[in-house]
Amino acid sequence: MGLHGNALVISLTDFVIDCGMFLTNVFWSLYVLELGASIADLGLFSLITGILPALLVAPIGYLGDRVSRKKLIIVGNFISSMGTLMNAFATSWVGLIPGTLLESLSPIIRPVRQSLIAEDIVPSERGKAFSTVFTLMMLPDTFMPPIAGVILDLVGLNLGMRYMLIISAALRFLVAFLRLKFLTEGKRTPRAKSEFSLSAASVRGTLVDMFRPLVSIKALQVMVVGSASSAFAMGMMMRYQSVFVVNVVGLTMTEWGVISAGVSLIRVLTRIPLGGLTDRWGRRKSILINYCLQPICIVAFAFSRDFLTIFLSMAARIIAFNFGGGAWEAMIVDVTPSEVRGSVYGSIGAVEMAARSISPFFGSVVWDSFSPEWVFHLTAIFRTFSAGVLYKFLKDPEIREE
């Protein structure tokens, strides 16, 4: 399916990590509330734990173009494992902050991880290959949430989450050792190694160099505007999906787990076929299908009041996403030279993470001041803006980078 070498190793080990992650992530907001947080506190928690990763992801991506990507990935895996373990023993929502910050090293090293994967993917198969990577990552989401939901309904949210966080931490430690053994340093151009001198570079010069590809490549400028507004929108609602379903609609945690798993199964079954289509249709068309259909699905979710309508609205949103997810990753690689991909992934990630960390607090204000439904209505409005920007300015590249 377009994967070999480091791309295959990372994808398979991500599957192991995600087996633990999907035990807990769909119930995470409920866990934060269980440890004494209010809706406003939940937004504040997202802001606190999101700002530091947003500040670090660009420097880590930049560093990944110049030092060992393998070492950065392995160190990040070990540290994030410790954060997950710390969260299992937190006694209040404030106590979750240190562990969550350490755990955030996993998304922080994503630019490095994506750059290492991209080196082992043939340009003509990028849409299919990135879709395969994403499918392997999301496969555990097809069976872990129902298991977690049953556990939580049987033993309680507090105790059940602690047990599952310990399991998740153990799997993260295992993956760190597996990557230490099986990952290689990958390809690297002479330019990437010879140009970097940390001691001689000024802070200002380093920052300029870090963001130079984003500023100089027009397609990336358009993509970062669209992705930032989209990240703000999705960050505003994602923290509150489980709270809305369980506390507002009134479904059980088992039912929410079944919905999450069913939606993920649809995502897994459709991701690779739809990702393969992007290599024939073109990146722009696939991305626009995703961005234009998302607002409709989000509004439908806000009006849902039972198991079936919630499931259908989320399933439709996932199918729409699968039209554009692989195309988005492929287009970034298409327009970015290999030696600066870490910097590009890092700078785009910094903008996205900053937007995503701020928006949950804004969402909590909307939730408390207006209604839970309006969180999702405003999300749809922001997603519509993103679709308009991409429709107007995004173009398929004439020449694809190797």
Per residue in 74-120, pLDDT (tens digit) is 999 999 999 999 999 999 999 999 999 999 888 888 878 878 887 77
Please give the residue range of the domain that contains residue 39: 6-180+210-393
CA geometry: angle at 234 spanning 229 and 240, to 5°?
Answer: 145
Look-up: residue for tokens 């097809």? 142
Residue 75 lies in a domain: yes
Residue 185 lies in a domain: no
Residue 283 lies in a domain: yes
pTM over 0.85: no
Looking at every residue in the chain, the average pLDDT score rounds to: 86
Classify 36 in phi/psi space as left (phi over 0), alpha (psi -120 to 50) or beta.
left
Residue 212: both structure tokens together: 């130079």
A 10 A CB-CB count for 129 gives: 30
In whole angstroms, what is the distance from residue 203 CA to residue 292 CA?
40
Residue 186 lies in a domain: no
Residue 4 contacts residue 321 (beta carbons within 8 Å): no
- Looking at residue 141, its pLDDT comes to 86
What are 185-196's pLDDT values in tens digits? 766 553 444 444
- Looking at residue 152, its pLDDT comes to 94
In whole angstroms, what is the distance from residue 135 CA to residue 129 CA?
10
Range among 212-226, 272-286, 287-301, 342-356 with highest mean pLDDT value: 287-301
Residue 228 lies in a domain: yes
- Looking at residue 200, its pLDDT comes to 45
A 10 A CB-CB count for 33 gives: 20
Percentage helix, strand, coil for the chain under 3-state DSSP, each rounded to 5: 85, 0, 15
Residue 347 lies in a domain: yes
In 3-state terms, what secondary structure has residue 384? helix
CATH number, domain containing residue 42: 1.20.1250.20
Amino acid at 402: E
Residue 43 lies in a domain: yes
In whole angstroms, what is the distance from residue 367 CA to residue 188 CA?
48
Q: Which residues contact 1 (CB under 8 A, 6 or more apart)?
A: 128, 129, 132, 272
Q: Which residues contact 369 (CB under 8 A, 6 or more apart)?
A: none
Look-up: residue for tokens 């299919």? 128
In whole angstroms, what is the distance from residue 83 CA to residue 161 CA?
14
Residue 214 banded pLDDT, cuts 50, 70, 90: confident
Residue 295 lies in a domain: yes
How many structural domains compose the chain? Answer: 1
**Torsion (CA) 245, 256, 231, 351 in degrees, nearest 10:** 120
Q: Which residues contact 138 (CB under 8 A, 6 or more apart)?
A: 18, 264, 267, 268, 271
- Looking at residue 194, its pLDDT comes to 42
Residue 396: both structure tokens together: 């398929």
